[in-house]
Amino acid sequence: MEEQSAQQGTLKSILKRDGRLVSFNTTKIAEAIFFAAQSVGGDDRNLALNLAQSVIEIVEKKFTSKTPSVEDVQNAVEKVLMESGHVRTAKAFILYRYKKAEERNRRALILGAKSPGENCSFSDEALKILERRYLHKDNTGNLIETPRQMLERVAINVAKGDSLYGATEDEVQETSTKFFDIMASLKFLPNSPTLMMAGEKIQQLSACFVLPVGDTMESIFSTLHDAAVIHQRGAGTGFSFSQIRPRNDPVKRHLGVASGPVAFMNVFDKALDVVKQGGVRPGANMAVLRVDHPDIIRFIECKRNKTSMKNFNVSVAVTDRFMKAVEEDREYFVKNPRTGKYFGKLYARDVFSVLTQNAWKTGDPGLIFLDEINRKHPAKHLGEIETTNQCGEAPLLANESCGLGAIDINKFIKDGGIDWDSLREIVHLAVHFLDNSIDVNTYPNQKTEDATKKTRKFGIGLMGFADLLMNLNIKYDSDEGLEFADKLMKFIKDESYEKSQQLAEKRGVCPAWEGSEHHRIGRKMRNMTTIALSPTGTRSIIADTSAGCEPAFAIAYQKTVFSSNQLVYINKAFEKVARERGFYSPELIHKVAMAGGI
């Protein structure tokens, strides 16, 4: 192909669609013809080269005094393919041109700007999501910002937190530039509420909330109100229903009987189904019940019919005592949360069997190991944790909230390994960003603001981990993979702690520091916790990388977003190998996406 490129004749340049003149390259024409032929079963690269030469001859004859455009050359490709009898290849090439034109038109519509830099480095799939969910619109639904402007809005807003600690305008601007750069490079992205709400009149930047549910009507429906407000602003909620008295327990005031926690969970589910997060997506919730609650079996089976509780993840809060009873095949006590008295006994293995059967059939319930969480919680002096946020990655105290951010670890490959210095820089900037977010955030009520600012928790997580392992040729489910994951997360945790300590020296420790585990060992911390491995479904699509720390979902698959839009995702590592080894084609990718594997 290099020889062929050198024999391209008198053509020296070509006019791009954006007005730029670039060097003419026969190889690109040959590749375009070959890929079109490959999509319909062809595999002759030499034929593609010969056809490309025919294209060059036509273009040279027609454009003796002016420079041909990309469109002119593509028209010549169609002509050569049709006249030489390669009709199927011609149709594939025409279809490719049509789809690319559609994409350009759509991108222009999304961006609403002529500058190529306005889309930053977002993919077409990312632009679809940004247009639908993240980019600001006017009252009639018209876009009023580009992706670049969205990132600038977020960076400027969050950087303002520096001014609360004596930073000058120039220093705030410098911070804003750094925040923009780490997002525009897609090395770090904050959670969706931050991207959507930063700079708004009401800017709820936290993604995760835990709200208390007491054993009174006033507490239950006050919590439901708070949850509705939180969901309306784009975040999710976690609840423990363990304090609610069991079903058929007496209600003395009305001489009636209680409905039980599952009944109230259904009320929450129906109410929050009406309130979509940020007006765009259904809300997400976590419901937790202690394994020693009398209604535990009813709770475990609440999603058995696969139609109930669609807006809830459910998890059983298991204790050390229960797990030991499972191991020893014996009974354990359940107790009434209203009276604190023992209610009866259940066989632990029977309960565990029902739990695992339902988890296998429906995906719910999960397990939350409460005793272990509270052993490891550095702020245990503030009380016990009873539940987590909506997806389980952030154990929080009642009324706490936290913001999340994810680092695309796949973007730190260097010389067959990790660029640890660059990763350190991004981790430190992520800590700075998320700590600022706590200050510029607005909260649904004073209780949540007080609880959040007392511990100043946030969660830095990962995305792109599976892609990273593939690019480093490390098998995901191997000892080497586990050792690498351990080394990577230790580095991120240590560096996030280091930056939090630096902020503590400049800005002060968080109010909960005194009496905490950090205080006990003499580690001054601005933030009580800094790590949370969250799922990054939408953000990983925006960053064009694999989700979270999870293995690759599939080599290629179709993903439905916003209940209707279909996106076809192909794993970049697979695509690279397929192209290098010559078996890539759109038809193959479609078949793999439909089948779910190879």
Catalytic residues: 389, 391, 393
In angstroms, rounded to a whole number, what is the distance separating the alpha carbons of residues 461 and 443?
23
Cβ(386)–Cβ(439) under 8 Å?
no
Residue 94 has, within 13 A of its CA and on its CB side, a CA count of 11
Contacts of residue 299, Cβ cutoff 8 Å, sequence gap at least 6: 241, 261, 262, 287, 289, 293, 314, 316, 365
Cβ(286)–Cβ(238) under 8 Å?
yes
Q: Which two tokens stand for residue 13?
A: 């340049």
Q: Return the closest-CA partner of residue 451 out of 507, 385, 391.
A: 385
Q: What is the DSSP letter of 10?
A: T
Residue 496 has, within 13 A of its CA and on its CB side, a CA count of 26
User: Which residue in the block uniquely carries the two structure tokens 């609403």?
Assistant: 112
Q: What 3-state class would DSSP assign to 230?
A: helix
In angstroms, rounded to a whole number, what is the distance separating the alpha carbons of residues 446 and 455?
15
DSSP secondary structure string for all residues of 380-447: GGG----EE-TTSS-EE-TT-EEEEEEEEGGGGEETTEE-HHHHHHHHHHHHHHHHHHHHH---SSHH
Q: What is the DSSP letter of 60?
A: H
Residue 189: left if φ>0, alpha if ψ -120 to 50, beta else—which one?
A: beta
Contacts of residue 313, Cβ cutoff 8 Å, sequence gap at least 6: 284, 285, 286, 287, 364, 366, 390, 391, 392
Q: Return the closest-CA partner of residue 268 out of 313, 326, 325, 334.
A: 313
Cβ(398)–Cβ(212) under 8 Å?
yes
First to last CA, the chain: 31
Report which residue type is found at 59.
V
Contacts of residue 591, Cβ cutoff 8 Å, sequence gap at least 6: none
In angstroms, rounded to a whole number, what is the distance separating the alpha carbons of residues 199 and 215?
38
Q: What 3-state class would DSSP assign to 211?
A: strand
Q: What 3-state class would DSSP assign to 511?
A: coil
Q: Return the closest-CA partner of residue 59 out of 6, 13, 16, 20.
A: 13
User: Which residue in the block uniquely carries the two structure tokens 């018209």?
Assistant: 142
Q: Return the closest-CA partner of residue 405 out of 179, 100, 592, 249.
A: 179
